[in-house]
Every structure is written in C-alpha cells, then in structure tokens.
Amino acid sequence: MKPADIQKIAEHEVDFQRAYKHRINVCTSSGCVPFGALKVLKAFEEAVKEFGVEKECKVARTGCVGTCSVGPAVIIEPGDYLYQSVTPEKVREIVRDHIVLGLPMKENLYSNEAFFTKQQRIVLKNAGKIDPHRVEDYIAMGGYSALVKCITRMTPQGVIEEVKDSGLRGRGGAGFPTGQKWSLVARAHGSPKYIVANLDEGDPGVFANRTLAEADPHSIIEGMVIAAYAVGAEKGYIYIRAEYPLAIQTLKLALEQARVLTLLGDNILETGLKFNIELRFGAGAFVAGEETAILASVEGRRANPRPRPPYPANSGLWGKPTLIQNVETLANIPNIVHYGGEWFAKYGTPRCTGTKCFSLTGKINNPGLIEVPMGITLREVVFDIGGGIPDGRKFKAVLVGGPSGGCLPETLLDLPIDYEALTRVGAIMGSGGIVVIDDQSCMVDTAKFFTDFCVEESCGRCNPCRAGLARVKEIFDGITKGEGKMEDITTLEKSSGYIKEASLCGLGQTAPNPVVTTLRYFREEYVEHVVEKKCRAGRCFKNLNSEANKQ
C-alpha cells in the first residue's frame, strides 16, 4: 500500500456505493441494540430481497445518530429520512412504501427537527452514515486522507502548527490546548514515546466516547497515527473500559483493518513511519479515567493517580514522554488536518473553538447524544435541542459535567458553554454529561447522590478525597434523615473548599462541585431541610417513620 492507494480505495468505494439508489442505515450501537436493532437489520435485509430491490438498495449497519430515546433508529438515504422506534414488523411496510413506492412514511419519522438544526457535527459527522465495520466506508467519506496529507506533504512541526492554529483544547474536560501539549511531547527527551487514547468513560449517564468508538472507530485511529507522526511516538494504547464490549469489538476490527492496509505497523504506507496500537481494558473504576491513573493501569498497576509534576508529557508510561488525549480530541484531528486549523477555529468561540459532544439525559424530552458548537447557551441545549421538560413539569436545574459537575439554576441558562464560563459558575466541561433536573427532584438529595458516587469511586490515596468526602456524605445522611444542624451547612462549605483545593487529582478537586453549587444556588432548600425538616420535592425524610417504628 502506498499513500496514493488510499485515494484509489476511496474512488472505488464511491463508485460502488453510487450503484445503489437507496441506502438503509440501521443504528446498531449500544443504545439501539437492546431495542432490537439487530433484528431490524435482519428484517431489512430480508425485506429488500422479498421486494426484489436488493440491487438498488444497500442495507448497512451504522453507529449512533444521537436520538437514543427512540431507537432503533433507521436512516434512509438519499434525503436522510430518520425513522424512529422501528420494529421488525414495521420494516416490510417501510421498504414497500418508501423504497418501492417512493412514499416516505411520515407518521414514523422523527419529528423533532430542532434536535438536529442546532447541532454542528464534526467529530460525529460519520456517525449514522457509515458502517463502522467497513474501513472502505470511512475511506470513501475522506477518511485517512488527512493522514496521507500529513505524511506526504507536511512536516511533524507543520502538523503541530496546524493543530495550534485550530485552537483545539482537550475534550477530556480540563481543556488544555492540544497543540501546546503536542509540542511539549515532541520536544521532550526520551525514547520511545507513547500515545494513550483515553476511552475510559466512567461517568454515569455519559456515553459520547463509547458512541464515537462504535460509530466511527477509524477517526480515532487516524487521529492517533497523525498525533504519532507529529510527536514522534512509536506505540499507542487505547485505554477503554471493559464494560464497553461493542466498542471494544468495533475497535478490534478497525485496528485489524488498519493493520492490513498498513495504516498501522512498522512501515506505514511504505513511508517508514512506525506506529502500532494496542487496546488496554480498564476494570471500571471512575478514577481510572484520570490521566496518571491510566498510566498506572496501562503499566499493569493499580489505577491510582499520582502527583504531578512530573507531567506525562515528560515522564509518562514507563517514565517516557507520553501524549494522553481523550478520543474525542483525537477524532477532531483528521478534520483539522484535512480542512485546516483556520476552518476549525471558525466554529465555537475565539477561546474555545470547535464543537463538543454532550450526553443529554435526565428529565428532558429528547435525550441523546449531541454535538454542538462551543459557546451555545444551556437554554438552547435544554429547550431547543432537548425539547424542554416532559409532562409539563418545571425546569429546576441542570447538572453540567457529570457526577463532579455543577448544578446550575434557571438564572444561568443563558450561559454560553465553554471551559471558562462553566468553571466560573462552579461547573466543569468534564466528560460532557448534561443531566436536566425538574421540580420533582430535591437538590440536597441530588448533591447527596453525586457525593455518594464520588465516595464509592475515590481511590483512597489522598486524605481530602478519601476521608473528607466520606465525612461530607455522613453529613448529608444526617441532613436527609432529619438530624441536620445549621453548623452542618458551614461544615459542608468548609470541607468542600478543602477537598477542592487540597485533593491530589481531578476527581477529588471536582467532587465537591455538586455540593458547592447546590449550596450556592439552592441554599434555601438546605435551610428548609435543616430547620423545618421539610423537603419540597418529597424525596428526603422518607424512611423516617418506618425506621422510627422499627426502633
């Protein structure tokens, strides 16, 4: 395989696909499979044969389109008709009406136009469009052309400059400028150098990275190879949690395909570039997504974070310079190289360019996976894309940034989403989890829930996170049981401040965010709990009477 051969594969595949008049894309990612997506896929394959249209109608499996609440989702091209909640029984009708008669079944189409119009898909541009099991599909969409461009026409430094120009920042949550990280690793002394792709998505209710791996695995691989070329790395690891079997299977297949096409290996596309990727499985600890914990885990040790400095860029895997990036960051890279950093920087805001994937869940009409430009307001996300609160309930808060994010009230809905703005109000970008909370939820109970999660997931190395969070949890237990005192609120504030500032890693430093923000924006609920022993949402004090009876 030579660089030019990639172009040939693309041309051949495009011709091949043009032979079909229609393409039926059945979402077979982890969201739709439990709804019977595989049966739907089979039913489509049978139905097109039954109607004798298999020559003009291609049935393909694809990754997630984002509308996870109405799966299985099926897209019929051309025209991008999105059918929702497709059952094997409906398949015959769809093929008959839509393909044979040319009459799309309007009543079965997804009707929330706004879900898509406010999104901007860069990372997820192929999700729902290509078959993640076929590298040819990816190549036909322009895949690996960015890699070819890099190794034939760009210097490693040139690639780094392009990434710097794009203004891309780490999508893992902290938002460190990607180009700057790459130059640090490129300049660092030591060999070999490593790249670690972080796919350890430990936050409850967050599934953006999983979806990406299931829908478009080659975009991650291509991003990694480009990064390897830019920083001079020889070996890469994709650190993925073992609870993602479908994503693992998809990635394994993709890696194998990439090796066969010499897009990975000791002599990539006959240019002498050497880079290999191995998968490493995480055992499912939340803290294992922290970058120094990943290093420990990849090396085969307990996934404990360690103090930084030294930073992984200088001393990472086995003490060698290591580039750690979230997979979403890496999947942005082929686009940046292909279209240029300036193109990318047009999206988003000047300080936070590009887009960000969010997992939208909670009390919301259109839950699912979305990709929006940075700087979009929370109101647009919750009410336009998300379609507002179901059952006529009232919006109360939105938790941005996963279990260690912040609970933001209605008054902050017009906040533009970017790293700095979120940090200012006490939330974080984090893993991109957005949980919408309605007036049936108690904010004290919500803060308690996320504190419990962090107590369970603390690694135990540093005192603030291990012992501090455990004490915070006990105070919450007391307040929600009706034993709260006004001093408890002060103690919560004091300990949260200490845990935030003194913890060793990001988990501890962000864990008190739900507590801090609910105290800041919903303090009256705490006071009600403590003074009046009243929970306006009726969530707390529930077991009080039954427990009292037992005693």
Binding residues for other proteins (CB under 8 A):
285, 287, 302, 306-307, 309-310, 455-471, 474, 491, 494-495, 498, 501-504
Q: Minimum distance between the CB of residue 509 and other proteins, rounded to whole angstroms?
A: 8
Token representation of residue 212: 């990406």
Task: Find the shortest distance in angstroms from Cβ 477 to other proteins.
Answer: 11
CB of 471 vs other proteins, minimal distance in Å: 5
Quote the CA–CA distance of 30 and 25 in Å, as a whole number. 15
Q: Which CB, 377 or 463, lies closer to other proteins? A: 463
Q: For the sheet containing 57-62, what is the strand order?
A: 57-62, 22-27, 74-77, 81-83
Closest distance of CB 420 from other proteins, Å: 14
Q: Residue 85 or residue 463: which is nearer to other proteins going by CB?
A: 463
Compute the half-sphere exposure of residue 438: CA atoms within 13 Å on the CB side of its CA. Answer: 15
Nearer to other proteins, 414 or 487 (CB): 487
96 versus 473: smaller Cβ distance to other proteins = 473
Residue 176 or 498 having the CB closest to other proteins: 498
**Residue 335: CB minimum distance to other proteins, A:** 33
Q: How far is the CB of 302 from other proteins (least distance, A)?
A: 7
Beta pairing, strands 273-282 & 235-241: parallel
* CB-nearer residue toward other proteins: 260 or 486: 486
Half-sphere CA count of 309, side-chain side, radius 13 A: 4
Are 186 and 180 in contact, with CB atoms under 8 Å apart?
Answer: no
CB of 290: closest distance to other proteins in angstroms?
13
- Closer Cβ to other proteins, 145 or 404, answer by number: 404
Q: Which is nearer to other proteins, 110 or 453 (CB)?
A: 453
**Closer CB to other proteins, 187 or 494, in the complex:** 494
How far apart are the C-alpha atoms of 84 and 61, rounded to whole Å?
15
Chain centroid to CA 478: 35
> Which strands sit side by side in the sheet containing 235-241, from one edge to the other?
265-268, 273-282, 235-241, 194-199, 322-326
Cβ closest to other proteins, residue 361 vs residue 458: 458
- Token digits for 130? 């290509």
Smallest separation, CB 364 to other proteins (Å): 31
Q: How far is the CB of 388 from other proteins (least distance, A)?
A: 37
State the Cα–Cα distance between residues 283 and 38, nearest whole angstrom: 28
Question: What tokens appear for 428 in the block?
Answer: 């974080």
> Quick one: angle between helices 145-153 and 327-339, nearest 10?
60
**In 10 A of CB 364, how many CB atoms?**
25
Give me the amino acid identity at 81.
Y
3-state secondary structure of 319: helix
CB of 492 to other proteins, least distance (A): 11
Q: How far is the CB of 407 from other proteins (least distance, A)?
A: 22
> E-strand spans in 63-162?
74-77, 81-83
Is residue 192 reached through a cis peptide bond, with omega within 30 degrees of 0 on the bond before it?
yes
Dihedrals phi, psi of 415, to nearest 5 degrees: -70, 130
Indicate the residue among 123 and 472 with the shorter CB distance to other proteins.
Answer: 472
Q: Is residue 83 within 8 Å of residue 96, measured between CB atoms?
A: no
Q: How far is the CB of 404 from other proteins (least distance, A)?
A: 14
Amino acid at 113: E
Rounded distance between C-alpha atoms, residue 200 and residue 458, angstroms: 16
Instruction: Decide if 364 contacts 358 (C-beta within 8 A).
Output: no
Cβ proximity to other proteins: between 85 and 315 the closer is: 315
CA 218 – CA 214 distance, rounded (Å): 10
| Distance in angstroms (rounded) separating the CA atoms of residues 71 and 126 | 18
Give residues with Cβ within 8 angstroms of 455, minimum separation 6. Answer: 469, 470, 472, 473
Contacts of 4 (CB under 8 A, 6+ apart): none
Q: Which is nearer to other proteins, 55 or 302 (CB)?
A: 302
Q: How far is the CB of 457 from other proteins (least distance, A)?
A: 7
Taking the mean position of all CA atoms in its chain, how far away is CA 233? 25
